């Protein structure tokens, strides 16, 4: 298990139910326990399996989101690896219990699996992050997908079909880069062989990324690892003070010295960049990607104090030493929670089902209400739950993606929505919105019947 402390923990909800604002079930998480705890043998791990799909979309100038089929001209996967995590959230932050790294994903469904010590945790949630920039670094803002929430597990159990989708904004210029070296064809690609091939070197070979030597202001210093070191590369990264980036990075192979290790690093930044944050991470688990469970560090004074931010002007900077471990991991919280209240001009009692949903596309007249579950999240209410004037909802969505937030009512109980005279409500005026990276609360919507004759 790995603990990642968060500066601001997202609001978490119990997602074991689907009514009243909770997350619907995903996949087929049936357990097949095989362990008899009456003996002295160590309990076997829980085995969790699933698949992940990278789905392309675009948003036009009018704010309309459209699915994009994989271009036939794209002969290789244009992004980097996919990192899958099994986690929980506690007061101290996100706790990581299992992972899988898909080193060479494809355009179709990609199988993943992980083993988890189920004596340490009894329920897990799952997410995946795509290394969009193909630099071996899971940076804030890279596309994420959400798997099942709160899967109950036990030692020796097998849990399958934990499937989910990572939605990725399509960049047509990637067709120009197709065929470059690396996992795919994205500019700044990295070639990452299996890190288990060599017992010392983790196998990361960087073929792109960062500025060329002599391009801009030089920033350099030493890397200090102050705990027992055997192997694993270190990356040093330059972010702005909003933690956007990395703008530049350098991979380092430290050398063991005494009870730790040392190396040197250098990047070239734009002159007069201004204030920057220098972070570092040691891929001590040798999974070939810098993720929240690695050991992190930053620009410091050698005695535990941070020296960030670093001001970059027009002069070269030396002695910018980073220390590991120090500071916190990059925040890779993969989801945001949008919550609020829904009202109705006439009350909810006359409706059979009411929905609030975060959708990937605008709904169409007469569509099945059940299809709303194909969006990011949906809350729904029926029967006695509708004997009120106000419904509280909470929706979970990936960070930094685009969605439509809307509410609907099925008035006649036929399972269809947006039929004549059936009400709806949009937040953000029906325009697509970016989910961002922060929770949104106090959302208010009111169900309104359409004008006579409109659907």
**Per-10-residue mean pLDDT, the chain, length 455:** 38 31 37 51 92 94 90 91 91 85 94 96 94 91 90 96 94 72 36 38 37 75 95 95 92 94 96 96 90 92 95 96 92 87 89 94 87 90 92 93 93 91 88 91 87 46
**Are 157 and 15 found together in one domain?**
yes
User: Could you tell me if residue 52 is inside a domain?
Assistant: yes
**Whole-number pLDDT of residue 387:** 92
Q: If we measure between CA atoms, which residue out of 143, 171, 181, 123 comes closest to residue 53?
A: 143
Domain termination site, one of 324, 356, 385: 324
**Are 260 and 339 found together in one domain?**
no
**Whole-number pLDDT of residue 92:** 67
User: Quick count: other Cβ atoms within 10 Å of Cβ 192?
Assistant: 24
**Whole-number pLDDT of residue 5:** 35
**Are 320 and 352 found together in one domain?**
no
User: Could you tell me if residue 380 is inside a domain?
Assistant: yes
Range of the domain at 41: 2-177
Chain centroid to CA 431: 24
User: Could you tell me if residue 250 is inside a domain?
Assistant: yes
**Are 96 and 172 found together in one domain?**
yes
**Are 317 and 229 found together in one domain?**
yes
**Whole-number pLDDT of residue 214:** 57
**Are 305 and 427 found together in one domain?**
no
**Are 284 and 210 found together in one domain?**
yes
pLDDT (tens digit, 9 = 90+) per residue, 293-350? 899 999 999 999 999 999 999 999 999 999 999 998 887 778 899 999 999 878 899 9
**Are 12 and 161 found together in one domain?**
yes
**Whole-number pLDDT of residue 179:** 45
Check which CATH number belongs to the domain holding 426 and give it.
2.60.40
**Whole-number pLDDT of residue 247:** 94
Q: If we measure between CA atoms, which residue out of 301, 283, 305, 302 comes closest to residue 293?
A: 283
**Are 286 and 348 found together in one domain?**
no
**Are 222 and 298 found together in one domain?**
yes
**Whole-number pLDDT of residue 6:** 34
Distance CA 57, CA 68 (A): 5
Domain termination site, one of 324, 343, 373: 324
User: Could you tell me if residue 454 is inside a domain?
Assistant: no
Q: Report residue 309 as tokens.
A: 């931010």
Domain total in the chain: 3
Distance CA 389, CA 222 (A): 63
**Are 404 and 319 found together in one domain?**
no
Distance CA 341, CA 220 (A): 52
Domain termination site, one of 115, 142, 177: 177
Check which CATH number belongs to the domain holding 6 and give it.
2.60.40.2990
User: Could you tell me if residue 308 is inside a domain?
Assistant: yes
User: Could you tell me if residue 298 is inside a domain?
Assistant: yes
**Are 165 and 245 found together in one domain?**
no
pLDDT (tens digit, 9 = 90+) per residue, 358-381? 999 888 888 888 888 889 999 999
User: Could you tell me if residue 233 is inside a domain?
Assistant: yes
User: Could you tell me if residue 186 is inside a domain?
Assistant: no
**Whole-number pLDDT of residue 329:** 84
* 3-state DSSP of the chain: CEEECCCCCCCCCCCCCCECCCCCCCCECCCCCCCCCCCCCCCCCEEEEEEEEEEEEEECCCCCEEEECCCCCCCCCCCCCEEEEEEEEECCEEEEEEEEEECCCCCCCEEEEEEECCCCCCEEEEEEEECCCCCCECCCCCCEEECCCCEECCCCCEEECCCEEEEEECCCCHHHHCCCCCCCCCCCCEECCCHHHCCCCCCCEECCCCCCCCCCEEEEEEEEECCCCCCCCEEEEEEECCCCCCCEEEEECCEEECCEEEEEEEEEECCCCEEEEEEEEECCCCCCCECCCCEEEEEECCCCCECCCEEECCCCECCCCEEECCCCCCCCCCEEEEEEEEEECCCCCCCCEEEEEEECCCCCCCCEHHHHHHCCEEEEEEHHHHCCCEEEEEEEEECCCEEEEEEEEECCCCCECCCCCCCEEECHHHCCEECCCCCEEEEEEEEECCCCCCC
């Amino acid at each position: 298990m790995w603990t990642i402390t968060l500066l601001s923990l997202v609001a978490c909800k119990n997602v074991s139910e689907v009514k009243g604002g909770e997350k619907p079930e995903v996949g087929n998480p049936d357990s097949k326990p095989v362990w008899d705890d009456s003996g002295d043998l160590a309990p076997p791990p829980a085995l969790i399996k699933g698949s992940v799909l990278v789905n392309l979309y675009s948003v036009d100038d009018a704010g309309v989101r459209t699915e994009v089929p994989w271009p036939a001209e794209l002969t290789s996967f244009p992004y980097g690896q996919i990192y899958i995590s099994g986690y929980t959230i506690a007061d101290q932050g996100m706790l990581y219990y299992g992972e899988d790294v898909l080193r060479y994903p494809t355009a179709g469904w990609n199988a993943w699996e992980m083993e988890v010590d189920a004596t340490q945790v009894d329920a897990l949630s799952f997410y995946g992050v795509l290394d969009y920039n193909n630099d071996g670094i899971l940076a804030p803002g890279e596309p994420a997908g959400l798997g099942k929430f709160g899967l109950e597990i036990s030692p020796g159990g097998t849990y399958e079909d934990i499937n989910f989708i990572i939605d990725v904004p399509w960049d047509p210029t990637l067709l120009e880069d197709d065929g470059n070296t690396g996992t795919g064809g994205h500019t700044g690609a990295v070639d990452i062989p299996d890190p288990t091939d060599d017992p010392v070197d983790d196998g990361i070979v960087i073929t792109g990324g960062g500025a060329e030597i002599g391009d801009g202001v030089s920033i350099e210093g030493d890397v200090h690892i102050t705990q027992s070191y055997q192997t694993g590369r270190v990356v040093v990264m330059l972010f702005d003070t909003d933690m956007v980036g990395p703008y530049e990075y350098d991979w380092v192979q430290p050398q063991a010295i005494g009870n730790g290790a040392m190396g040197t690093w250098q990047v070239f930044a734009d002159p007069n960049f201004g204030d920057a944050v220098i972070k570092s991470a040691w891929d001590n688990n040798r999974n070939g990607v810098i993720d929240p469970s690695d050991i992190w560090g930053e620009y410091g004074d050698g005695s535990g104090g941070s020296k960030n931010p670093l001001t970059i002007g027009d002069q070269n900077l030396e002695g910018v030493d980073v220390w590991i471990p120090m500071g916190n991991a990059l925040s890779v919280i993969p989801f945001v929670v949008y919550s609020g209240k829904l009202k109705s001009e006439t009350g909810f009692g006359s409706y059979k089902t009411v929905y609030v949903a975060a959708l990937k596309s605008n709904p169409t007249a007469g569509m099945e209400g059940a299809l709303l579950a194909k969006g990011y999240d949906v809350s729904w209410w029926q029967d006695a739950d509708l004997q009120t004037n106000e419904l509280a909802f909470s929706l979970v969505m990936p960070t930094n993606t685009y969605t439509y937030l809307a509410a609907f009512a099925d008035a006649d109980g036929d399972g269809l929505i947006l039929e004549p005279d059936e009400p709806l409500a949009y937040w953000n005026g029906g325009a697509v919105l970016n989910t961002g990276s922060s929770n949104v609360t106090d959302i208010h919507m009111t169900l309104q019947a359409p004008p006579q004759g409109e659907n």
